[in-house]
Structure 1
């Protein structure tokens, strides 16, 4: 079961949201703790009383906050969609300077990544396979992940997670890109410029679009807008 991740710009490193800032700023602001506790306190009524700190982390990622999770999928078509998503939104694709487009799809062997981390090579379930909770390991610092990054699979609680076949890498070392230490378990496949039109046609034929990836009313509205609304 390989993991896939699409980048619309192949030069982007494999860093989680929290890793895309200066290390000094991260340490000075203590931004991870601030986001976690504010999300937990202000959104507690929406999270449910039984939510533990892993639930909070996944909810934060799901709703767009920067975390130490990096999104992956187990389906190539979903990764390809995210690699091409900015270009699919442009109706005048033939007019775009093709030479400037360098989307790519990353492919990760999650079992080998976890083997490199000296863990059980199975894709980890954070609720049962880690010594401590997210709060203990990363907010309080009383437990340790024991690895730079680990491939994990959470319960698929939301329709979006199920539709996208969501999986993650969980990063302890936030500021070192995954590609710099993952060795042979990671590959990047750049899409040649002359393949982009065919790749977009493949997504259309496969029925992969905004609503299939985001199966909610917002996703449906964006899909219908792209199909039928040409003046906005």
Structure 2
């Protein structure tokens, strides 16, 4: 259901950034990879089998019970999206998929560790927001802030119900009655998410692939969802332009982590 666009020159990247001004983007270092969450990848490599929601329940439960020993500023107890965002930040698998409002930031993440053709996925968040309202049976009215807050609240309501108990989560793994993808931005931004101009796409039925979650959305045509393949041969050229734009590990990962990453990248670029 997505269109593939092949890029083999920096000027084509500049043109695309103008063509997709309202989209959000995700960079992946291998163009053959599908869009999937860290939770799906974790479940595929474990014995979770088909009970992926039960796995999600126990990951969330364990994190929430022990995070207070390490972090003082925690999300409200009913803000499940906020909790998943925090888990994602510190490396616990979740259903959230990282995207960025910046096409160039996504290009950086696509290319910095690429050893083959890379990809940047582009999707229209306004389309996801409108279709998400239909999935939850609520009216898409009001200004942008009201629409986004309503979707955030509906997503939280869905997750609270789905992950309320282990048995409820297991039932959802076998029979999720809704599917779709909604865009969400946590109310508590960490520095990294801010530096990367980040947000998340949240698949509702994690027993299905990202694209399968979109199949019932109206107007699921090419201009709403695109895969931009960046040829490996232009990796060094594109990263050089991105460095001139100050898009580096040091700016995208605040603190010592970004500085440490930037050292290896500077050595690689010599």
Q: Place the TM-score, normalised by the shorter chain, in its bin.
A: 0.7 to 0.9
Q: Is the deviation greater in 165-174 or in 127-136?
A: 127-136
**Post-superposition offset of 1:155:** 2.5
Asked if residue 157 in structure 1 is aligned to residue 189 in structure 2, the reply is yes
The number of aligned residues is 218
Q: Is the deviation greater in 2-11 or in 125-134?
A: 125-134
Question: Structure 2: where are the runs of 5+ without partners?
Answer: 1-21
Whether the aligned pair in 2 keeps the contact of 1:5 and 1:73 (CA below 8 Å) is yes
The one-character-per-residue Cα deviations of 1:132-155 (angstroms, maximum 9, x if unpaired) are 263334344599994421112222
Q: 1:138 aligns with which of 146, 158, 163?
A: 163
Whether the aligned pair in 1 keeps the contact of 2:75 and 2:82 (CA below 8 Å) is no
Structure 1 vs Structure 2 CA RMSD: 3.1
SS at match of 2:200: strand
Q: Which residue pairs with 1:95 in the alignment? A: none
TM-score computed with the length of structure 1 as normaliser: 0.80
Q: Which has the higher contact order (CA 8 A, sep 6+)?
A: 2
**Post-superposition offset of 1:207:** 1.2
Whether the aligned pair in 2 keeps the contact of 1:69 and 1:168 (CA below 8 Å) is yes
Q: Is the deviation greater in 163-172 or in 213-222?
A: 213-222
Q: 1:2 aligns with which of 6, 18, 23?
A: 23
Q: 1:65 aligns with which of 87, 92, 105?
A: 92
Partners of 1:220 and 1:145 in 2: CA distance: 45
Q: Which residue pairs with 1:90 in the alignment? A: none
Q: How does 1:21-32 map to 2 (within 5 A)?
A: 21-22=43-44, 25-27=49-51, 30-32=54-56
Partners of 1:47 and 1:58 in 2: CA distance: 16
Q: Which residue pairs with 1:166 in the alignment? A: 198
Q: Which residue pairs with 2:15 in the alignment? A: none
Q: 2:62 aligns with which of 38, 42, 51?
A: 38
**Post-superposition offset of 1:17:** 1.5
Q: How does 1:55-204 map to 2 (within 5 A)?
A: 55-87=82-114, 101-117=116-132, 118=134, 120=140, 124-125=148-149, 127-130=152-155, 132=157, 134-140=159-165, 141=168, 146-180=178-212, 181=214, 183-184=220-221, 185-204=224-243
Whether the aligned pair in 2 keeps the contact of 1:47 and 1:56 (CA below 8 Å) is no
TM-score computed with the length of structure 2 as normaliser: 0.70
SS at match of 2:148: coil
Whether the aligned pair in 2 keeps the contact of 1:80 and 1:105 (CA below 8 Å) is yes
C-alpha spacing 1:209/1:194, structure 2 compared with 1 (3 Å): same
Q: Which residue pairs with 2:37 in the alignment? A: 16
